[in-house]
Amino acid sequence: MTTFLQLILSGIMVGAIYSLVAIGVVLIFKSTGIFNIAQGAILMLGAYILFAFLVQLAWPLWIALIITFLLAIAAGYLIERFALRPLIGQSFLAAFMVTLAMIGLLEGLVTLVWGTFGRRYPEFIPTDPIRLGPLVLSQEYTWSFFIAAGLIVAFYFFFKYHRLGLAMRAVAEDHQAAQSTGISIKTAFSLSWVIGAVIATAGGILLATSAGVTISLGTVGLKALPVVLLGGLESIPGAIVGGLIIGIVEKVAGGYLDPMVGGGVEEVVPFVLMVIILLVKPYGLFGQVRIERI
């Protein structure tokens, strides 16, 4: 029972990071109709950029974080402005292929600059475990969980109360109606990509504190896709719930099945679950069911 509870807690902590990254995917899809599968590659690049400032240039942590997120803002804007805005009015497949090409471009850039060797951040989070009776929690996972949860709450209030957040929600609901009230659709598109890049960067940094800075972070970021499909492509609450479910299923399956088959189950099970979701409930737990007449 202790092992089961340990795996559940670990899954919740990792799942909170998946939820955070998935929110960026949902936000971009709701606002622009583009399914951004490059979120994992942006996540990986953000983790490497912080590594460069923090370790290679030996900048203080707070300066390195500020510059990293400023670059994430710039990257999100440039991607939307020069790679995706020219595709407005084009088919869904065209935009999808651009985001697919971005994965290869960003992974190639990271390999060219930093190579394929794993790196680690300096120890800025204590490594001593936290003990809750028989349960042992990693401080890295614990801090990452609370930071991810705090960011999720902050984005919730931003979208619910801030003028820009309300404008983005209006655009997500109906482009023409939002435009008729004076909301700039292009500004909302740019802002969604900027926020998506910032969220991906934050997720990459949180994952890298425990998993290390490796090119495989891009694959870890791809786990946001099963999260989004489980929760529903257009549902931010669904992304939160889906992230927690995927995190728990991943850790429990890895804890019990990995020793039986020699490993690898933890990495595969989110995508197996994604296939099952598409077969059984293709609109996800909270997605909007659309019926189209053909």
Q: Is residue 291 part of a domain?
A: no
Query: What is d(CA 24, CA 159) in angstroms, rounded to the nearest whole number?
Result: 13
130: in domain? no
| pLDDT tens digit sequence for 130-168 | 887 777 778 888 888 899 999 988 888 888 888 888 887
CA–CA gap between residue 1 and residue 135 (Å, rounded): 11
CB of 139 closer than 8 Å to CB of 126: yes
Does residue 292 surpass a pLDDT of 70? no
Confirm whether 205 is domain-assigned.
Answer: yes
Is 285 a member of any domain?
A: no
Write the secondary structure of 54-121 as one string of H (helix), E (strand) and C (coil).
HHHCCCCHHHHHHHHHHHHHHHHHHHHHHHHHHHCCCCHHHHHHHHHHHHHHHHHHHHHHHCCCCECC
Residue 252 lies in a domain: yes
Q: What angle do CA 54, 14, 56 make, to 5 degrees?
A: 10
Average pLDDT taken over every residue of the chain = 86
Categorize the per-residue pLDDT at 290 as very low, low, confident or very high, splitting at 50, 70 and 90.
low
CA distance linking residue 146 with residue 221, whole number of Å: 19
Q: ∠ at Cα 251 (248, 252), nearest 5°?
A: 80
pLDDT in tens, 233-280: 878 888 899 999 999 999 999 888 888 877 778 888 988 888 888 888
* Share of residues in the chain with pLDDT > 70 (%): 97
What is the pLDDT, as a whole number, of residue 258? Answer: 82
Beta bridge partners of 213: 119
End-to-end CA distance of the chain: 52
DSSP code at position 234? T
| CB atoms inside a 10 Å sphere around CB 32 | 25
What's the one-letter identity of residue 182?
A: G
How far is 112 from 75, CA to CA, in rounded Å?
18
| pLDDT at position 156 | 83
Pairwise pLDDT comparison (28 vs 48), residue with the higher score: 48
- Rg from Cα positions in the chain: 19
- Total structural domains within the chain: 1
Per-residue pLDDT reduced to its tens digit, 164-218: 888 877 877 777 777 887 888 888 888 999 999 999 999 999 989 888 899 888 8
* The model's pTM: 0.90
Q: Which two tokens stand for residue 196?
A: 């998506």
Containing domain of residue 207, as a range?
2-121+135-280
Question: How confident is the model at residue 184, as a pLDDT?
Answer: 83
Instruction: State mean pLDDT over 2-22.
Output: 89
**What is the C-alpha to C-alpha distance for residues 234 and 172, in angstroms, rounded to an integer?**
9
pLDDT at 95: 83
Q: Are 19 and 148 in contact (CB under 8 A)?
A: yes
Per-residue pLDDT tens over the stretch 79-114: 988 888 887 767 778 888 888 899 999 999 999 999
Q: How many helices (H) and strands (E) does the chain have?
A: 12, 2
Amino acid of residue 231: G
Question: Alpha-carbon distance 5 to 190, whole Å?
Answer: 42
Residues 34-67 pLDDT 10s: 888 889 899 999 999 999 999 999 999 999 999 9
Domain of 71: which CATH number?
1.10.3470
Residue 223 lies inside a defined structural domain of this protein = yes
Tracing tokens 């694959």 back to the chain, one arrives at 219
Determine the pLDDT at residue 176: 77
**What is the number of other CB atoms lying within 10 angstroms of the CB of residue 291?**
4
Using the predicted structure, report yes or no on whether residue 293 has a pLDDT greater than 60: no
- Tell whether 163 is covered by a domain: yes
**Among 45, 79, 294, residue whose Cα is nearest residue 191:** 79
Asked, for residue 266, whether it belongs to a domain, the answer is yes
